[in-house]
Amino acid sequence: MAAPANRVSKPSGERLPFNTTSFQKKTRSKLLSIPGTRPSVQNGQLLVSTGVTSLDYLLGGGLAVGTVLLIEEDRYDSYSRMILKYFLAEGVVCRHELFVAAAQDNPTDILQELPDPILDDVAIHKPVEQPRLSCEPHDSLDAMKIAWRYQNLPKVQSALASSSRFGHYYDVSKTMEPEIRQAAKCHPFYLPEHPTQSSPTHSPMLESYSALLKSLEDVIHREGFDVATPMSNSRNILRIGLHSLGSALWGDDLCCHDNPRHGHALATFLYGLRALLRSSLAVAVVTVPSHLIQNRALMGSITRLCDNAIALESFKGSERETNPLYKDYHGLLHVRQVPHLNCLVSQLPDHKDLAFKLKRKQFSIERLHLPPDLSETVSRVSRGELAGATMVASACGSGTSGNKHLDF
């Protein structure tokens, strides 16, 4: 061997430097190498992108394979449906297989609404523009006042972004081309096309949820997404999108009564779904109309049966829609639950005040920071009140001294 021979030829009195050896320990990585995935830096779990870069950052780098993400829908199901379409569009671009289930809209119609991917290597994030100084004296004074008040404060970084890029960017103003969409393999589940039969035995799970779980289990075993399947070079990820579970269209009365008759049907389904995903190369996104569920204890049970849980609170139809403080945002995002995978303590978000907005071409999540109150009305009123109080105090003081002079 070359290395020992060189060491013998050296003089005995000369000592070798520390750690100067040519031997290297070769280790073989046991992680799966699947397109569109990467290992987590916290726990080594295999991650996939949700399609929204800021949401990936919020969840600790992405969605872990074998987990469930619960999205509490906004009142009009606009933004929750958009995140679901982002998740499915990312699967199409990464050549993952899809499983889409819905009771209201046909899954084929949902796939036709997927946003168009921006297939380039240049990020579309633009630097924050600095405020321009206007030629008008009033605007110049305002700009000078803002600089005087806040010139020594650190700048607020509102965007949620990681140093390493993961996933793709999409243009929500356009739909995905049919050639790209049809290249992906999709397994649709449209509830009206799957007639359910009432089982003679009493079961806590509804027939619609039983049929959905049975269809999903058949796809996982038939297409080779089960971990027990012998390893092959062509392993893939199954992305599962379940739209608006718990609504009356699924035959569930969870959103109709305070004490629903099928109160534990959805919780039983989620328990079976999570057990199925733990032993498969699949990841699921589930949307639930939580604003219609009147029993909050049942909603808490549903949240705890999922690994990740976020809630969307839209400003549409509320007083905040016309509030100038929230003019740059379309709603608030609340993190209900974060996963505990291969660790005792989960990684919590570094910021709890989060908001989302829909630009002309992109949906993004940012840190919520309100602008400073620089209205002249407040300062003028406060100065006027102060001046009035001073004049009253002066008048009272002069009147008192005059009375004392008359007494003398």
DSSP notation for 233-267: TT---EEEEE-STTSGGGT--TTT-SS-TTTTHHH
Q: Which pLDDT score, from 0 to 100, does residue 390 have?
A: 47
Distance of CA 373 to the CA centre of its chain: 30
Q: Which pLDDT score, from 0 to 100, does residue 352 have?
A: 83
Q: Find the mean pLDDT for residues 203-225.
A: 91
Residue 20, pLDDT above cutoff 90: no
- What distance in Å separates the CA atoms of residue 52 and residue 88, rounded to the nearest whole number? 11
Q: Find the mean pLDDT for residues 317-339.
A: 91
Q: What percent of the chain has pLDDT over 70?
A: 68
Q: Find the mean pLDDT for residues 344-355.
A: 77
φ, ψ dihedrals at 207, nearest 5°: -65, -35
Give 392's DSSP letter: H
Q: Which pLDDT score, from 0 to 100, does residue 230 have?
A: 76
Q: Which has the minimum average pLDDT: 97-101, 144-148, 337-341?
A: 144-148
Q: Read off the pLDDT of residues 158-182 as tens digits, 9 standing for 90 and up.
A: 666 655 678 899 999 999 999 999 9
**pTM above 0.85?**
no
Residue 79, pLDDT above cutoff 50: yes
The tokens for 166 are: 């993961």
Question: Residues 6 or more apart from 295 whose CB is under 8 A from it?
Answer: 254, 258, 259, 260, 263
- What distance in Å separates the CA atoms of residue 360 and residue 367, rounded to the nearest whole number? 19
CB contact at 8 A, 286 and 242: yes
Q: Residue 308: in which H helix or E strand, if any? A: strand 308-314
Q: What is the mean pLDDT of the chain?
A: 79
3-state secondary structure of 277: helix
- What distance in Å separates the CA atoms of residue 206 and residue 197, rounded to the nearest whole number? 10
Q: Read off the pLDDT of residues 143-159 as tens digits, 9 standing for 90 and up.
A: 455 555 555 555 555 66
Confidence of residue 391 (pLDDT cuts 50, 70, 90): low
Q: Which pLDDT score, from 0 to 100, does residue 121 have?
A: 42
Measured at the CA of 168, the angle between CA 159 and CA 64, to 5 degrees, comes to 85
Q: Which has the minimum average pLDDT: 26-35, 36-45, 223-232?
A: 26-35
Q: Residue 328: in which H helix or E strand, if any? A: none
Confidence of residue 84 (pLDDT cuts 50, 70, 90): very high
CB contact at 8 A, 82 and 172: yes
Long-range contacts of 297-302 (CB under 8 A, 24+ apart): 298/254, 298/260, 298/263, 298/264, 298/267, 301/264, 301/267, 302/70, 302/246, 302/266, 302/267, 302/270
Q: Which pLDDT score, from 0 to 100, does residue 52 have?
A: 94
Confidence of residue 131 (pLDDT cuts 50, 70, 90): very low
More confident residue, 131 or 49: 49
3-state secondary structure of 359: coil
Q: Which pLDDT score, from 0 to 100, does residue 116 have?
A: 95
Alpha helices per DSSP H over 171-206: 178-182
The tokens for 250 are: 């699924």
- What distance in Å separates the CA atoms of residue 291 and residue 300, rounded to the nearest whole number? 13
Amino acid identity, position 407:
D
Give 360's DSSP letter: S
Q: Find the mean pLDDT for residues 357-372.
A: 84
CB contact at 8 A, 287 and 243: yes
Q: Which pLDDT score, from 0 to 100, does residue 246 have?
A: 94
Confidence of residue 316 (pLDDT cuts 50, 70, 90): very high
Q: Read off the pLDDT of residues 33-50 as tens digits, 9 standing for 90 and up.
A: 899 999 988 788 899 999
The tokens for 251 are: 């035959």
Of 5-14, 164-173, 288-297, 333-342, the range with the highest mean pLDDT is 288-297
Choose among 288, 276, 285: nearest CA to 214: 276
